Every structure is written in structure tokens, then in C-alpha cells.
A = this chain, B = another copy of it.
Amino acid sequence: MNIDLAAARVPGFRFAGVSAGLKTVPGAKDLGLIVADHPCPATSVNSANKVKAASVYVTIERLRAGRLQAVVANSGCANSFTGKPGLRLAKASCALVARQLGIAPALVVPASTGVIGHLYEFAKFSDGARAAVAALSADSMEDFARAIMTTDTRPKMASTVIRLNGTQVRVAGVAKGVGMISPRMATMLAYVVTDAAATTAQLKRALKLALPFSFNAITVDGDMSTNDSVIVMASGLAKNGAMNRRDTYAFNDAVGGVCAALAAELVRDGEGATKLVTVKVTGARSAADAERCARQISNSPLVKTAFFGCDPNVGRILMAAGSSGAAVESERLVLYIGGVKVAARGALLVDALAAAAAKMREREFDVRLDLKLGRANATILTCDLSYDYVKINAEYTT
């Protein structure tokens, strides 16, 4: 499957991204709209954080019905930990957009991202929303992608084209989020739209299959956001008819591929990141062990600073593995960095370290730890921990 990391048109959907003055940078886009021509089957997964944003509560509530026509997303303010005023603000924002579009408020969901603990100015939002409605266009996916960026350095999009029942179908997605990224149930904000004729149940299934290999398999800093949402919407305009087994497989694969490409883009653009590292744990005694071990390695500040320093610091990787709670036996495990074997039979392979260091100087490499204790595997995408991570987060506004 070919995944394109650029904006795409998806029949049945229009997009917009405008500046409403919610971000402090003048002229920066901070209000985005996705609008479907008709109410669509849709599903979402959301942050498992017990402190959830107002937008997440509204999204969860409204998507119980499995139908959606518009998403209004703002950056510059997370509207999280804002209590009842926050909930009222989120609902009023949706109502305003619904009125502008002439649709039912229950078909609109909000999303917010930015600093936690503050409300945005409704007057600014309101003017921005009018401008966004006026700007809606099938070609504006990138504008939307820009409008939801916070510390992201670039917009993130991915799309693919598949054939279902002989008909061409598009699946495209947009995502943001390069800090507070360790989604266990979802990620920051990601929207996947398709013109496939798919039911809500089919979308749920496709998203459920995609998550463990995309948004739930990445980390930037081990911190889970309060505002995470992933939404999938299907316009049905491809008129591909009911999906048979092969179609379902192809469709799930396309949704999975788009989600995985977006997830990798988030980590590649992780706050201060200079490297994308794929951490694979194989031969674990159980799936839980494999995941625990891969996550511990991926989130260890000592491992991540070693990545930044291009230092094949085997000891830190094994320290993290050993402290993960997973079954680990020093004498059995084999460790590879960039395909170079650096530890085996309970000892470091000192002669291999120079080759491993060379691999680590590339922008993307993998670390594979074969525990040799069973058959379970897990893969987590992570990035390095650099001066810029500290800079971005020590100086990011209150």
C-alpha cells in the first residue's frame, strides 16, 4: 500500500483552517473545520486520562450515536480542567458552528489543544468560526492540519487510495501532537476521513485494529494528554457497496496504514526530536511483558539522551528492560542496534559498538531486544531527548 504524506481530497469532505487570534502568534492558524456533506458514520477513541478536556467529554457523548457531520478544532487553548464553564464553552462553540452550517448541534464535535486550565475567548472563536465556514473547501486539508498545530513544526497528513469492490476509495488523515505523547487509548488529535461506504461498526473495527500499531505504539515523553481524540468518518460517496471479507481487509489495512503513517510523523516531529527510533522487543514471555519492556526502553530519559548523543549505551537499554517488570534473563537476551548485534550471552560485544554508533548517527534506526524467553513481540516508536525538548517545555507558556 502506498501512503502519501501530503494533503488529499476525499469526496464528501471539506476543510478549513483560519486564524481566530487564539494563539499568541499573530496570523497563526488556530481554528479548523472538517465538514461532511451529509451526516456520516463515525467513531472515536479518546484520552484515558482521568482529567479530560471539555471537548473530549462532548466528543464521547455525541459519538455514542455513531454519526457525525462536523469537527471544529482549535489550538492555542486546551479548554481542559475548566469545569462547567469549559463544557458550556465547548457546547456553545459547536452550536455556533452548527447554526452557521445549518445542521443539528449534536452532529458537531469540538476539539481543543494548547495550554491546560484556560478558556478561550468566545468572541474570537465566533468570528473565526464564521471565517472558517466561509473558507471551507475540498482542497484545504493542509489548512486544517496547520490550524491544530501547537509545538508541531509542520502539518501532518497521510493518505492512500485503495480499490474496494472494483471502486476507487480514498482514506486520508490529519494529526497533531509532538509533546505529552504517550497515548494508551488514543493520541492527541487525529482525524481520518474516507469516502468508503462503511458502517459505524466497520469504522470502529478498523480503528480498533489500527490503534495497537499506530497511535498506541508511540511515545515522545511518556506523558498522556488530557485532550486526545482520534476520529474516523466515512462519507460513503465512493459507493463501493457492502464490503466483503477481502474489501474489509483492504479497508482496515488502509485505515491502519494511514494511522501508522500519521503516528510515525508525530514522533518524527516529537518535541526537540532529532531521531525516530523503533524499539522492538521480541521473544518475550507474554504480550504484556513485551509491551512493558518496549515502553520502558522507549520512555527512559537515560536511553533517550543516549540516542541523542549517538551513544550505543547498551547498559542503559538493559537497565530499562530489567526494571520494566518483564521477565528478563541477562544470559539469554540478544540486543541489536541498527541491526548490529551489541550484546549476547550475558556480555557486551565491545568490538561492535563503533558500527552501532555509526547507525545511530542516522535520523532513523531501530533497537531490537530479543529476550529469547517466549514468542510475544511489541514495537514502540520513540524519539530522542534533546536540549530542545527542555527548551520547548521550560519556556512554553503557563
Contact = CB atoms under 8 A, between A and B. Distances in A.
Given A51-B321, A322-B50, A322-B51, A347 B82 contact: yes
A346 to B, nearest CB: 3
B390 A385 contact: yes
A374 interface: no
B318 A51 contact: yes
A323 interface: yes
B314 A117 contact: yes
Contacts of A115: 313, 315
A289 to B, nearest CB: 11
Nearest to A296: B223
Given A180-B319, A222-B300, A319-B116, A81 B394 contact: no
How many protomers of this protein does the assembly include? 2
Contact of A223 (B319, B387, B396): B319
B81 A348 contact: yes
A312 interface: yes
Interface string A54-95: 000000000000000000000000101111110000000000
Contacts of A179: 302
Nearest to A324: B50
Contacts of A224: 319, 322-323
A321 B80 CA distance: 14
Interface of A: 48-52, 78, 80-85, 115-118, 179-180, 182, 221-226, 299-302, 305-306, 308-309, 311-316, 318-323, 326-331, 343, 345-348, 350, 353, 357, 385-387, 389-398
